[in-house]
Structure 1
Amino acid sequence: MSSPAGFQAAKPVLAIEGLTVSFDGFKAVNDLNLYVDRNEVHVVIGPNGAGKTTVLDLICGKTKSTTGSIEFDGRELTKMREYDIVRAGVGRKFQNPSIYENLTVFENLEMSYPKGRKVFGALFFKRTAEVVARVEEVAGEIFLSELLDKQADLLSHGQKQWLEIGMLLMQDPALLMLDEPVAGMSVSERVQTAELLNRISKGRSVLVIEHDMEFVKSIAHRVTVLHQGKVLAEGSMEAVQTNPKVIEVYLGH
């Protein structure tokens, strides 16, 4: 069916097509098609072993695919190195926070400022007004404005998760990928994290892996359910929750 004259459907910022990765003959991801739109919070759910984290590993270049393509903002990621994928605008947070525990909140955010990344950038890095303003802006977004001078190892688990999200925001990625961002958080921290993700998705796409269904309900524009490395179902949270196949293999347990 052709589009009406003058109308063109917006291209997804991330298009995964025919993606497969095999480990010793086991297909962890199997002929996967997945699309993430601009400014969308897209949540991937599914039972353990469904291939969720492997998908993030493939997107960020940590794992190389056997077949298929991953196109991000018009660039093919499967042939790119991990640091080039980061520079292209893909930021990833792993399950456990990886922050510099012996540095302050301010210093952690400052270290993540793009100009501080390369060797020469780090050697000649100056704490300019621009850097300070960016650190303060991001600290406000992640609820840590009052804790800029606090050493990172003294933060609560939830605050450490927020700090790592902030370190990614310093680089202003077009696609932010979060692996179980609310695991181990208190109820109030989960509510604040939902508020944070809803806010930062205005202007970027967010791809989240999560098990907490209440949290998913509060953030997801679209939900994809993976099972055995394939898409089992996709749609709104309401549609997915009432899907008999999803109830059988995932939500019923």
Structure 2
Amino acid sequence: MMDVEQPKEFLLSIEGLSVSFDGFKAVNDLSLYVEENEIRVIIGPNGAGKTTVLDLICGRTRATEGSIRFRGKELTKLREHEIVHAGVGRKFQNPSIYEDLTVFENLELSFPRGRSVLGALTFRRDAEVINRVEEIAEMIFLKDHLETDAAILSHGQKQWLEIGMLLIQSPELLMLDEPVAGMSVSERLKTAELLNTIIKKHSVIVIEHDMKFVEDIAHRVTVLHQGKVLSEGSMERVQSDPKVIEVYLGH
């Protein structure tokens, strides 16, 4: 009897995904597979459907057709907060942090036990919370800024803080939309270092325009054009693909 090879288990499997807005297909029959501990970067011209893909994964936008499975669980039927609880975290382009609170307080507020009303009412700043906040603060280069008000952090530090607020919730998949936009060169390098640390325990999807940064972090690159996958593979392969040069990198 022949051994039947089992299909590979991906962390995230997107198949035949489409969404239409007033007849316009923003995402068109898209299939995409993300593995454990992978940094997947999605690039493409403006209007290619990159942010819409993240909106679909996190439940902000409902798919017209297709499937999004995370650890085998279908996400297209779930609400946003249920998708967060399933283990998917999302950071938007502009940092949404509490500027009038300290770095410590921002991280503490994101600690999972405070999520429910009862959890928030009975929440105590115990050793577990303090240790976890300090561990995350060190990872995001803010250990020396725990008592600093978030308002006076640099733009890059605010971006790191928001990534930390996601990390403290222990999502298995983080989605980051243009995380290095507006950062200095040194901050971009440290962000690449941070992402390469994160993927020891998580997977990451990044939307990015900064090609140097993409080179520093990407395991695989997916190029979107008009809501479809135009090309996919290593950065070298994608950069040398004539179709990609024509519609994106050549401009």
- Tell me what 1:56 maps to: 54
Q: Distance between the aligned counterparts of 1:174 and 1:161, measured in 2?
A: 19
Match of 2:221 among 220, 223, 238: 223
Q: CA deviation at 1:10?
A: 4.1
Q: Distance between the aligned counterparts of 2:54 and 2:100, measured in 1?
A: 28
Note if 1:18 corresponds to 2:4: no
AA of the residue aligned to 1:68: G
Q: CA deviation at 1:219?
A: 0.3
- Cα deviation per residue 1:189-239 (whole Å; 9 max; x = unaligned)? 000000000110112110000000000000000000000000000000000
- Tell me what 2:174 maps to: 176
SS of residue paired to 2:99: coil
Number of residues of Structure 1 aligned to a counterpart in Structure 2: 250
SS of residue paired to 1:101: coil
- Cα deviation per residue 1:46-105 (whole Å; 9 max; x = unaligned)? 000000000000000000000000000110000000000000000000000000011000
Q: CA deviation at 1:121?
A: 0.6
- Tell me what 1:139 maps to: 137
Which runs of 5 or more structure 1 residues have no equivalent in the other structure? none
Q: CA deviation at 1:7?
A: 7.0
SS of residue paired to 2:33: strand
Percent of aligned pairs with the same residue? 73
Q: Distance between the aligned counterparts of 2:8 and 2:152, measured in 1?
A: 44
Note if 1:200 corresponds to 2:198: yes
The root-mean-square deviation of aligned C-alpha atoms, in Å, is 1.2
Q: Distance between the aligned counterparts of 2:129 and 2:173, measured in 1?
A: 22
Which runs of 5 or more structure 2 residues have no equivalent in the other structure? none
Q: Distance between the aligned counterparts of 1:147 and 1:109, measured in 2?
A: 12
Q: Distance between the aligned counterparts of 1:37 and 1:70, measured in 2?
A: 14
Runs (4+) off by over 6 Å: none
Q: Give the TM-score normalised by structure 2.
A: 0.98
Note if 1:27 corresponds to 2:25: yes
Q: What are the within-5 Å matches in structure 2 for residues 1-253 of structure 1?
A: 10-253=8-251
AA of the residue aligned to 2:28: N
SS of residue paired to 1:42: strand
Q: Distance between the aligned counterparts of 1:134 and 1:7, measured in 2?
A: 41
Q: Give the TM-score normalised by structure 1.
A: 0.97
Q: Distance between the aligned counterparts of 1:75 and 1:9, measured in 2?
A: 16
Q: Distance between the aligned counterparts of 2:140 and 2:7, measured in 1?
A: 33
